[in-house]
Amino acid sequence: MQIHVVQQGDSVYSIADLYDSTPTDIIEANELETPGDLVIGQALVIPIVGQFYYVQEGDSLSTIAQQFNTTAEKLAQVNGISKDSSLPVGLRLYIPEQPPSPITANAYIEPYGGEVSDTLQSSAENRAAKLTYLAPFSYEIQEDGSLKPPPLDNFKEIAEKNDATLMMVVTNLAEEGFSDELSRKILESDSLQNTLLDNIIQTTKELGFKDVHFDMEFLPPDMKESYNQFLRKAKKRLSNEGLLMSTALAPKSSADQKGAWYEAHDYKAHGEIVDFVVLMTYEWGYSGGPPRAVAPIGPVTEVVDFALSVMPADKILLGQNLYGYDWTLPYEPGGEFAKAVSPQRAIQIARENNVEISYDEKEQAPYFTYTSSSGEKHEVWFEDARSIQKKFDLIKDRGLLGISYWKLGLAFPQNWVLLENQFSITKS
C-alpha cells in the first residue's frame, strides 16, 4: 500500500500511472466522491503490492531497511542495485510487501437519542470484520447499582456474523456527564458494588458479552485506591464467569499527573489487575480548547512510553480518534465550541472552499484554514493516511496489543484500508 499526497496538476489517472495502479482502485479505496476534483495536500492510499520510498538526505539502504523491517540485501536485490551503492536524494526504491502483524482492534459505537441510526448500523456492518471487539457505548451505572443500557439494535448479530466479540462498556455517565458523585456512592458501598456486578454478569449472560470494560472517568482523586479495590473485586468475579475485563485510562505521561481526568487512574494497578487497557490517547485538541491536532504524535508517544514503564506491551490498546475538529476563529475560552468532523468531511470542506491541506511534521497531522461564506475564519485539524500510519508505526515499534477507535460512524476509509493491509486482526 502506498500513501500519495496530491500535488498541483495531479489526477487519479496520473497517480494511477505513477504507481502502476488503476483509477478505479484509487477511487474505491479512498471513496472519492469527486475524483475529478482532488485537493492539493490530500493524502490518498494507493492499492499496490508493497510500496515505494523516495530516498531522503542521510538515508542508507541499512536505515531504510530497518524502517521497513527488511534487510539491505533484499532491498538491493529487488531494486537491482549494489548493497554499497550511494543513494541520491529522490531515488525511488521499491519496498516489498511485509507480512501483516497480528493485533487486537476495538471500536466503540455510540447510538444517540435512544436509537441506532442507519449510519451507525451501516458502519458496524462494514467494519466489524476488521475488529476483534465491537463496543456499544455505554451501560450507565445507576445510583442503586442497576444499569441503563444503550440501544443495541442488531449489534449482537453483526458481531456474530463477522466473528467479532461484543464488549460491554460500563460507565459512570449521568445526565451532566461523567459523575464524580455517582462514582463515590458506588465505590464507597460494598453492597452497591455487589449489586452492580450481579447486574453486569447477568447482562453478559443474556446478550453474549465476553469482555467487561470499565470506563470510569473524572473520579475524585481520593478514590484512586477505592477504584483499584473495586477492580480487583470485579476481576475476581468476572474471571470466575469466564469473562475478560478491561479499562479505559486517561492519557497520563507520569504517575503523579495532576488533573480531574487523571489522578484516580493508576496505570500500574490497572496493568496488574485487568486483561488489557485502552489508552485514551486523543483530545489534546478538543472542542472547547484552542485549535490543535487531536492526537499529536509526541504526546501520544509519551503516554505510551509511560504506560510501558509500568505494564506489559501486550496489555495496551492505543486509542485512536476517527474525527477532527473545525474551529471558528479567533478562539476564545468559553466561546463557541469546535464542530466535530470526519476526515472525509474535512477534505470536502477544503475542496468546497478551494484551499490546500497542509501537514504539521511535528504534530504529524493535517490541517488547513478557510474563510466561510459569511466571512468567518476557520481552522480544521483532522486525521489522514499519514497521521494514522504514524500511529500504526508506533504500535509496531512498541509491540502493543493493538488499537481502539473512538468511534464508528465517521467516514475515514483510508484508515481501514491501511489497517487491513498492515495487520491481521485477532479474533477471540
- What domains lie within the chain, and their CATH numbers? 2-95 (3.10.350.10), 101-425 (3.20.20.80)
For the cut 80, the answer to whether the pLDDT of residue 330 exceeds it is: yes
Q: Which amino acid is at 36?
A: G
Say if residue 116's pLDDT is above 90: no
The predicted pLDDT at position 112 comes to 77
For residues 215 and 182, is the Cβ–Cβ distance under 8 A?
no
Residue 119 binned pLDDT confidence (cut-offs 50, 70, 90): confident
Contact 343, 412 (CB under 8 A): yes
168: which strand partners?
A: 212
Q: What length does the chain have?
A: 428
Q: Residue 77 has what pLDDT?
A: 93
What predicted TM-score, i.e. pTM, was given to this entire model? 0.94
Q: Which of 217, 263, 283, 363 is catalytic?
A: 217
Amino acid at 277: V
Judged against a pLDDT cut of 90, whether residue 262 lies above it is answered with yes
The answer to whether residue 217 is catalytic is yes
Provide the percentage of residues in the chain whose pLDDT is more than 70.
100
114: pLDDT strictly greater than 90: no
pLDDT at 115 over 80: no
pLDDT, mean over the chain: 95
Q: What number is the average pLDDT over the span 294-303?
A: 98
Q: How confident is the model at residue 348 (pLDDT cuts 50, 70, 90)?
A: very high
Tell me whether the omega of the peptide bond preceding residue 100 falls within 30 degrees of 0, making it cis: no
DSSP 254: S
Using 50, 70 and 90 to split pLDDT, how confident is the model at 67?
confident
Answer whether residue 113 shows pLDDT above 90: no
Strand-strand pairing, 165-171 and 139-141: parallel
Parallel, antiparallel, or unpaired for β 377-381 and 324-329?
antiparallel
Q: Where do we find the cell 444499569?
A: 147
Alpha carbons 364 and 350: distance in angstroms, whole number: 18
